[in-house]
Amino acid sequence: MQGYNVLMIYSKDMDKLLMCKRSRNPYKGLSNLVGGKIEHGESGIMAAYRELFEETGISNKDIILHHLMDIKYYIQECYVEVYFGKLNYHVDVYGDENELYWSDLNKDFFDMSLFAGEGNIGHMIEQVKMSKDKILKEITL
């Protein structure tokens, strides 16, 4: 079963979310989260940090990623590991694959005419809202 990751990267103040505008299918032209493929023999967390750096220039010194959830697609024979984190400080992002931008969080992330993933982005954001205080508190202890 092929693994993929999706990375929810929040600004230092957790008031913006890093998004990309898809330049190719699937979801060409729609906004999406950054992420990619987990290579054979690679751990999920290592793949997440590798993809994050390749697509944005953000390194493991800039952010701590937290494994939020997994989504398994049995018919498509793949799974998606979802990670989130907040930047330790402002980082200039850059990428060649897709146009990157910081989105305000007051958007309707369930709007499938604007956002990729059949509403999954909205669901993931709600999960972060429900658990961020607990996770971020545990980090500072």
pLDDT at 112 over 80: yes
Residue with tokens 């971020």: 136
Question: What predicted TM-score, i.e. pTM, was given to this entire model?
Answer: 0.93
DSSP secondary structure, 49-67, as one string: HHHHHHHH---TTTB--EE
DSSP 107: S
Evaluate whether 112 touches 38 at the Cβ level (below 8 Å): no
Average pLDDT score over the chain = 94
- Would you state the pLDDT for residue 97? 85
Give pLDDT, residue 133: 79
What pLDDT, on the 0 to 100 scale, is given for residue 141? Answer: 43
CA dihedral (72, 119, 53, 39) in degrees, to 10, reads 20
**CATH number of 2-140: 3.40.630.20, 3.40.50.360, 1.10.10.10, 3.90.79.10?**
3.90.79.10
Arithmetic mean of pLDDT, 108-113: 97
Query: Per-domain residue ranges for the chain?
Result: 2-140
pLDDT at 116 over 80: yes
* Percent of the chain whose predicted confidence (pLDDT) is above 70: 96
Residue 22 clears pLDDT 80, i.e. is over it: yes
Task: Summarize the confidence of residues 32-48 as an average pLDDT.
Answer: 97
C-alpha to C-alpha distance for 21 and 29, rounded to whole angstroms: 6
